[in-house]
Structure 1
């Protein structure tokens, strides 16, 4: 993405309820590096950076020039000139009486579909974080086939899911500190169906939904498919924490009807929400009457053997919390089995809604999942060992081939969220495609099209695939930055250090 001056887009009316105060913006801007550029240009560049990084979402109204000038200790003329630069580059827009708000030169451009279609022959697919099936899967299907005859006299339609499977899922929630019974569980055809059901409960056309920035693309798509409006809340990719101040202010200002969160090894940052933060988030959402849809797809993938915090729903108040789970990451995506958990009344409403979309999940797959859950400890050990090896190999390859990229090593999950030295992720993806490597640029994980300084790389792939792919990614980065392939790279400075 070119961050230079481009013709400004026609201004769009900003959401009037989204704004950022001068102190909060100053905190986001952080300490400025020394620069020979004029103060107005340095300020504009810093604001543009936090927009492109996704820390300052698109559509947020900036502070009035006078207030920001006082907070920063600059003249109003300097702040006004900086806003002029942002408007010229397409990173801000204004209308008399409405103030100035953030935008992007590419805002409104169509977003490509993010479907996990198989990569063509010879293409290395780093765009999707999906592991192959574990050896346990074949045995689970074999056992399921042996049990299937006892279910064949029935219709095969049970839109809530097999009772035995719901009981086992309820036991797992209870083991993790969230007392659950079978009538509080609904089996679904994958986690995405569960996410859609949960969001449909509270969000419709024109409603506001809190989402993470960066966030899981398919979850963001569900919100927009429902006609709801995305309200991004930053997740700090360096500290691997949620911005509670931004979440609280967004909840107060926008009155969201729902929130979509991934608290365990958040996709794509790998952040793990602490128990204390979970409690604060739950209280904030309960105060605003916001239904929380909590995606626990990655909950079993603690690579470093951490003691996991309790489910966010443990801290639920009167407002429903819908907790979503999946077999896709711990077992296999082709199993297409998911589930959700909430209070019994909410689950009954969601079950009725599900019955109008999908009559039931396949019986054979439910039986296979039941067997896999019976050996969950062995399955988790297998998958976590695989992921730990992949994470260590990938971080080592990046340190060797791309030392000017910044990466924080997550304690679990399946991906690394990599900070590029320049906002060129889309160009990198295009250059990598020419070399036979499929990447997804950071903008796909943004609610508003930013995050061009980031790219997500999965470590769920076999290590031999990673070993072949990373040198090609480095070659593509050389093309983007016009460095000769194989040429000597500059040593990273303190701000671009490789963090593990």
Structure 2
């Protein structure tokens, strides 16, 4: 069993002095969110009450009451003589980051996940028509169905990166692709350069591999400063790999232009550092299209052992079609794909055939469905942006050129307090620190615009009330909207 030190957990919990009393409830809430977000892994033994009380400079009674609340709510379990351990509650999960069924009518703005368009059931029907020709064989395709690999390769070629089917590995979504790439590139104790903020599940995958995360601050309004800092970090630290999102970065929405990609590719080449490039949002440009993939600019194929790796491009249908399909891919050189396949089969022998056939149909019609999706996202982005600016004028609400989320700036560091208050009102959010390391980003909140406009308006009403509760301000008059009256998809 893993354990966390009192000092380590106290660092993650942060200063409790900004929380409204009772303090034990605030402590329990922070630990609960750390477990839900994966920053305190399931099964971790929590520190002894006396040690944590000393590290947090609170009374032991406060920690005892907090642990009791966690056990009562199902977020911890006590074992006689062994200690207290982090667990998930039984039944539907209502945490901030682990997706769960919205059976209580809560509004979910923690996850940027569009509902399935009409093209998904049509694609599944096509897949079932195609399925009989595969039933005579064993059904295992470790690198993916040849038809799907060919379609993914064709799409990369059309985007400016010539690709053959042998350069594509089909995965169970983007996170599976990222984790597989990390399995090839990272070892315990090695360094992974990441943007700060970044995608939480990728950060967790890196930590699970034993790698040390090396964050470089990213300001979407000043990409040159990030490039300067990245060049210095690559040259000084020589990390084992970099994890990057140049296309409508999650969560900032930043888009790296052609000149920036040329400069970044050159820096990776000079340092001899391979890159895992997450292109999950690359085709969701709302105001402008993304430049060609970073791999098209080359980085001299840095080596891992005797293997020349270069850029590993990760893609998925989760955001442009539907997350329920769990179909993604990694694009790399053919010999790298063979090595990646050997890593992938250690956890999954093959992806499901039906979903891959559906993915083929979806890719055949993707350009038409993307046009409709982008139009809907533009409308929802406009609604959420306007509502936030009108009802929370003290917040910084930039409008990204693409992607699925707004990366909002709060007047003071109170993201975690707002998230806790919102959850009590039936609005699920993900706190800013989830997207970074340490205590950073508590003055930020990521808000997806993937819900329908009426749901977004109701959500902002709840957010206004949550922000008032978190700051101790007077709660605005008038109904905020009952989230349980909304059908959430």
Q: 2:357 maps to what in 1? A: 367
* CA-to-aligned-CA distance 1:443-464 (integer Å, 9 cap, x gap): 0001233100000000011112
Say if 1:238 and 1:408, in contact at 8 Å, map to a contact too. no
Name the structure 2 match of 1:468.
458
Deviation at 1:288, TM superposition (A): 1.5
Q: Which runs of 5+ in 2 are unaligned?
A: 1-5, 10-55, 58-85, 88-94, 303-309, 479-489
CA pair 136-10 structure 1, distance change in 2 beyond 3 A: closer
1:178 aligns with 2:168: no
Contact 1:257 1:290 in 2 (8 A): yes
Residue 115 of structure 1 pairs with residue 115 of structure 2:
no
TM-score under structure 2 normalisation?
A: 0.76
Partners of 1:168 and 1:182 lie apart in 2 by: 8
| Structural mapping, 1:64-463, within 5 Å | 114-239=97-222, 243-304=226-287, 306-316=288-298, 317-319=300-302, 320-463=310-453
Shift in alpha-carbon separation, 1:397–1:240, aligned structure 2, 3 A: farther
Structure 1 unaligned regions, length at least 5: 1-8, 13-88, 91-109, 489-500
From the superposition, tell whether residues 10 and 448 of structure 1 become closer, same or farther in structure 2 (CA, over 3 Å): closer
Q: Secondary structure at the match of 1:407?
A: coil
CA shift digits 1:198-236 (9 cap, x unpaired): 122211100000011000001111110000000001110
Backbone CA RMSD of aligned residues: 2.2
- Contact 2:153 2:165 survives alignment (8 Å): yes
Q: Which has the larger displacement, 335-344 or 251-260?
A: 251-260
Partners in 2 of 1:428 and 1:206 — Cα distance? Answer: 35
Q: Distance in 1 between matches of 2:476 and 2:330?
A: 50
Rounded to whole Å, the distance in 1 between the matches of 2:384 and 2:137 is: 49
Tell me how many residue pairs correspond in the alignment: 385
From the superposition, tell whether residues 400 and 171 of structure 1 become closer, same or farther in structure 2 (CA, over 3 Å): same
CA distance in 2, matches of 1:412, 1:125: 20
Q: Decide whether the 8 Å contact of 1:235 with 1:241 is kept in 2.
A: no
Q: Deviations over 1:69-122 (max 9, x none)?
A: xxxxxxxxxxxxxxxxxxxx99xxxxxxxxxxxxxxxxxxx9988322223412
| Structure 1 residue 478 corresponds to structure 2 residue 468 | yes
| In 2, Cα distance between equivalents of 1:113 and 1:323 | 28
- 1:83 corresponds to which residue? none
Partner SS, residue 279 of structure 1: helix
Secondary structure in 2 matching 1:223: helix
Task: Assess if the C-alpha contact under 8 Å between 2:417 and 2:470 holds in 1.
Answer: yes
Measure the CA separation in 2 of the matches of 1:195 and 1:178.
Answer: 20
C-alpha change, 1:10 and 1:458, in structure 2 (3 Å) is: closer
Equivalent residue, structure 1, for 2:47: none
Aligned pairs (5 A) from 1:43-58: none
Q: Distance in 2 between matches of 1:189 and 1:380?
A: 21
Corresponding residue SS for 1:379: helix
1:182 and 1:11, CA in 2 relative to 1: closer, same or farther beyond 3 A?
Answer: closer
SS in structure 2 at match of 1:471: helix
Deviations 1:351-401 (A, max 9, x none): 111122211110000000000000111110121111111100000110111
**Cα 1:113–1:201, aligned 2, differ >3 Å: closer, same or farther?**
farther
Distance 2:101 2:262 in 1: 40
Distance, in Å, in 1 between the alignment partners of 2:228 and 2:270 is 15
Q: Deviations over 1:159-185 (max 9, x none)?
A: 011111111110100001101000000
8 A contact 1:241–1:272 mirrored in 2: no
